[in-house]
Structure 1
Amino acid sequence: MAAIVYFRKISETEEVVEYGFGDDPDNFERRLTMDRASCTSTAQDAQIDSTFLKASRKLNALHAERGMWPERGMSVS
């Protein structure tokens, strides 16, 4: 069975980047914050599950690859 998570940038400051994420690209019910300095993520609902981890890992991978935080994307496995 495939697992998919979509994400889209909501806001960006000098310190953090905030993303909406979830399994519906038209309705993100959850948010995560990436710390720009440490590249660590925080789930705003404090729920650390496979959906959060998949989004966080893909965001970090894209950031490492491109040198910038993506505007949107998805991860499929």
Structure 2
Amino acid sequence: MAAIVYFRKISETEEGVEYEFGDDPGNFERRLTMDKASRTSTVQDALVDHTFLKASRKLHALHAERGLWPERGMSVS
């Protein structure tokens, strides 16, 4: 069974980056925040599940690869 998550940046400050994410790119239902200093992520609804972890890990990987927080993206496994 495939797992997919889409994400899109909605804001960025000196302290953090906020993304909306979910399994439907036309209807994001959740948000996560990446703390730039600690490189930790939190989810707005406090539900730490596979979808949140998948989005968070992909965002970290893209940032490490490119040196910038991506505007949008997806992860498929």
TM-score range, shorter chain: over 0.9
Partner SS for 1:37: coil
TM-score for both structures, normalised by structure 2: 0.99
Q: Structure 1: state its 5+ residue gaps.
A: none
State the Cα distance separating 1:39 from its structure 2 match.
1.2
SS at match of 1:61: helix
* Structure-2 separation of matches of 1:20 and 1:9: 7
Determine the structure 2 residue equivalent to 1:45: 45
Count of aligned pairs: 77
Percentage identity across aligned positions? Answer: 86
What TM-score do the two structures reach when normalised by structure 1? 0.99
Runs of 4+ in 1 over 3 A off after TM superposition: none
- What secondary structure sits across from 2:62 in the alignment? helix
C-alpha distance in 2, partners of 1:52/1:10?
16
What pairs up with 1:58-73 in 2 under 5 angstroms?
Answer: 58-73=58-73
